[in-house]
Amino acid sequence: MSGQPLGRAGDGGTWLPPFADAHVHLGLADPVAVRRGGIAVVHDLGWVPDVARTWPGRPDFPEVAFAGAFLTAPGGYPSDRSWAPPGSVAEVGTPDDAVAAVDRQVAAGASFLKVTLHADAGPVLDDVTLTALVGHAHARGRDVVAHVEGRGMAARAVEAGVDRLAHAPFSERLPDDLLAAMARPRAVEHDPARGRERGNCRNEPDDDSNPVLGGAGGRTAGRSRTTWVSTLDIHGWGSPTAEQDVAIDNVRRFVALGGTVVYGTDLGNGPIPHGVVERELRALAAAGLDAPALLGALTREAAHPRAADGVDGVDDHVERPRRASPATWIPGDPPDPDDLDAVCAWLARAVVVDDPARAQRAPATPEDRP
């Protein structure tokens, strides 16, 4: 342990950067409770685009970036799921379908795209269509997130150029050479869209700025070619399972090779608490993340998502005052960073505060929240 302090002391507690959950489904959750629970930024990974486009900038919501509809093969996951409402799934059967589906999500304001490769639940995109989808998303300046489930699906995603896995792989123990390929540093120059990267976001040809997934503040430094969202607690919700054991083993080996793993819960999928989930942090600690790495996983995705202002169909007459930059405040002093159980419990007490430089008093602790 480096001995570097976790955060900055002040107001009877500790100030930290904003926390982000990189995998939620707000249509199945309470966004206000998410923010009250200490999460300032969320990435919604699949819902009805016309609904999702109304979330960014909403008072009392976290900052929201969204993918729009799940992009899947005809009859593929999650088209047959009762929780997926009409309009939340776009079926893609050909490369032309893929291009059109990407364009529809971008027009709705999507900051990235979500594709599903769930071979255990139905058809998946063929290689030509998947490659066309990823390539066109990159040409439009968007990263691509993939749900991979079933043997061989993680390898297919990487071969197609997918930027992020929505879950730490749990269907199989990934071979070391595949992990090494995913963990390689991601170069800006590896395709033209990333060559347009600037500042905290990257520009697409239409001059929209969009977050590049997996970079601290959107920067490329320290980011692996393929990043993973943790979602370890969905396997048993506190009760160990074989799938969680596989996922933790994959995370441990991926991180050891330099891979980037960010915090995410798949909120909306089962009994997952709103806000910072202590069980998710404990699972990451079990995978070998120390205290600074846990904090990094929580804060890496917290660059402000782009607003939906000016997106086609969004009511520009609704006045949404610009929110001050959020920060995290946790009551009390940080625990010993070598005591990871205590660190996880402490991080789970996080409170979101707007414009901490102007805070006149310490914010309410979790016990005092309404």
The pLDDT value given to residue 7: 83
The DSSP 8-state label assigned to residue 50 in this structure reads H
Rounded average pLDDT per 10-residue block, the chain, 370 residues = 71 92 98 97 98 96 97 97 97 98 98 98 97 98 98 98 98 98 78 39 50 52 88 96 98 97 97 97 98 95 51 37 77 94 97 69 42
The pLDDT value given to residue 10: 83
Residue 78: cis peptide before it, omega within 30 degrees of 0: yes
The pLDDT value given to residue 281: 98
SS3 365: coil
The pLDDT value given to residue 212: 58
* pTM for this prediction: 0.88
The pLDDT value given to residue 355: 67
- Which residues, at least 6 apart from 114, have a Cβ–Cβ distance to it below 8 Å? 45, 46, 67, 68, 69, 70, 71, 144, 145, 146, 147, 166
Euclidean distance between CA atoms 349 and 188, whole angstroms: 36
Backbone angles phi, psi at 353, to 5 degrees: -130, 130
The pLDDT value given to residue 208: 53
Domains of the chain: 21-187+224-306 (3.20.20.140)
Q: Beta strands 164-165 and 143-149: pairing type?
A: parallel
Euclidean distance between CA atoms 207 and 61, whole angstroms: 26
